[in-house]
Amino acid sequence: MSLQQQIDTLRQDLRRYEYEYHVLDNPTIPDAEYDRLFHQLKALEAEYPELITADSPTQRVGAKPLSGFTQIRHEIPMLSLDNAFSDEEFYAFVKRIEDRLIRLPEPLTFCCEPKLDGLAVSILYVNGILTQAATRGDGTTGEDITANIRTIRNIPLQLLMDNQPECLEVRGEVFMPHEGFERLNQQALEKGEKTFANPRNAAAGSLRQLDPKITSKRPLVLNAYGIGIAEGVDLPNTHYDRLQWLKSIGIPVNPEIRLCNGTDEVLDFYRDIQNKRSALGYDIDGTVLKINDIALQEKLGFISKAPRWAIAYKFPAQEELTRLNDVEFQVGRTGAITPVAKLEPVFVAGVTVSNATLHNGDEIERLDIAIGDTVVIRRAGDVIHKLSAYYTTVAQQMRDRSFSLKLVLYVIRPLFVLKAKPLHVVLEAYSVQHSVKKRLNISFLVRQWILMA
């Protein structure tokens, strides 16, 4: 076997193993074996740099940091979707479709997908090689993020097919799964760096890094949802089959995608995804419902900003704004005390929320919140798990924050570190309430301390 054949074989094997791992979720070799083959290829390319190609698995990270992002104009606009927020609005969408079609198939078939909460991107393959990638931007023009997209491990640098199309534009959503997001924030905390508020912000910040080496360390993934330009290839005639074809050539698609016949099955899909939402491991904010037949899509066409053949049926909001009215302190039987935010009641994801835990001193310091702030309250599943400051007015941003909770943490911190020291609870809780120009019922805390002593 010649040197070139050896390198080609390694590349083909590594591409296949990446596809099995990232797209099929069915790896056939141990991670250690993949690493061994990868380093073998890397060593050969280092010794013979003239044999390096842009689509080699070793070339995901190699570009120098950019000074700024250039603009890319989409040949086919990346349109937004109209929204539905109730069954009635979904039925109205279906009625509009029925009114426009002369001959109506019975029943209408929909390709139904989770609506991923990430960033829409366009990825262009020329002769099977990843050549260009751009953000959606305003739908007409986006930013060139090619170097960053190349670092995402589940996006192939070369399509897995023999007869490569002259040009294929894959459209999809880049997002950050919960596990990776939590790990990223934990690493930031350990380094004393700023954390991200949510996975979507983390994904957006990661994709817009000028240095692709930073993006390469972020746990981003892609799920494709459609095709733009396609030249030199015969595509399937349904949307669902096109997504499955993309999967067969190495492009990842979401595993929850379903074909639904008629409106009842569509609504069943919507409620099923809503019920399993908290267990998916990534953020979604609804479902995307598309007419499956491509010929019908073409007949229905578009309005100015959105297709007539698709709609986003969104879930009730999981984030709402409200006011932080007060902070109270709950004393546990071990002497530990937990700060609890008392909120102006707000309806979030079907539940009225008036309380949210502030967890501990580190969380208070990170948020830098004060009584009277407007905050974001977020609900996931059955648990309220996120509260963050949200400065809505210039006056609120510029106001004197000398009485913010953060500034008295030199006293409150032992409260959370020395959980079994109720005397600290008394002193620190008093100090925190003083910072918001109030007093706790100190006698109550003293009684708690005496009882536990």
pLDDT of residue 64: 63
- Dihedral-angle region of residue 25 (phi above 0 means left; psi in -120 to 50 means alpha; beta otherwise): left
Q: Annotated binding residue at 81?
A: yes
| Residue of 178, 176, 433, 416 lying closest to 280 (CA atoms) | 178
User: What is the rounded CA–CA span in Å between residue 402 and residue 374?
Assistant: 17
What does the pLDDT look like over 325-381, one tens digit per residue? 888 877 766 666 778 888 888 877 667 888 887 777 667 667 777 777 878 787 654
Alpha carbon 424 to its chain centroid, in Å, reads 40
Calculate ∠ Cα 105-111-115, nearest 5°: 145
Distances from the Cα of 115 to the Cαs of 18, 289, 414, in angstroms? 25, 9, 44
Residue 117 phi, psi dihedral angles, 5° rounding: -95, 80
Calculate ∠ Cα 114-115-118, nearest 5°: 125
Q: Annotated binding residue at 35?
A: yes
Q: Annotated binding residue at 136?
A: yes
Show the domains of the chain with their CATH numbers. 3-51 (1.10.287.610), 76-314 (3.30.470.30), 319-392+400-408 (2.40.50.140)
Contact in structure between 375 and 369 (CB atoms under 8 Å): yes
| Residue of 189, 327, 164, 187 lying closest to 249 (CA atoms) | 164
**Is-catalytic flag, 115?**
yes
| Residue of 414, 362, 452 lying closest to 427 (CA atoms) | 414
Instruction: Name residue 240's amino acid.
Output: Y
pLDDT of residue 267: 97
Q: Annotated binding residue at 314?
A: yes
User: What is the rounded CA–CA span in Å between residue 135 and residue 146?
Assistant: 9
Q: Annotated binding residue at 34?
A: yes
Per-residue pLDDT of the chain (453 residues; tens, 9 = 90+): 899 999 999 999 999 988 888 778 678 888 788 888 888 998 999 899 999 998 898 888 755 666 688 999 999 999 989 999 899 999 999 999 999 987 777 889 999 999 999 999 999 999 999 999 999 988 999 999 999 999 999 999 999 999 999 999 999 999 999 999 999 999 999 998 888 878 988 999 999 899 999 999 999 999 999 999 999 999 999 999 999 999 999 999 999 999 999 999 999 999 999 999 989 999 998 999 999 999 999 999 998 789 999 999 998 767 778 888 888 877 766 666 778 888 888 877 667 888 887 777 667 667 777 777 878 787 654 455 466 665 544 444 444 444 444 433 333 444 444 333 343 443 444 444 444 333 334 444 444 444 444
Which residue in the block uniquely carries the two structure tokens 């076997």?
A: 1
Q: Which of 42, 64, 95, 115 is catalytic?
A: 115
pLDDT of residue 389: 60
pTM above 0.75, yes or no: no
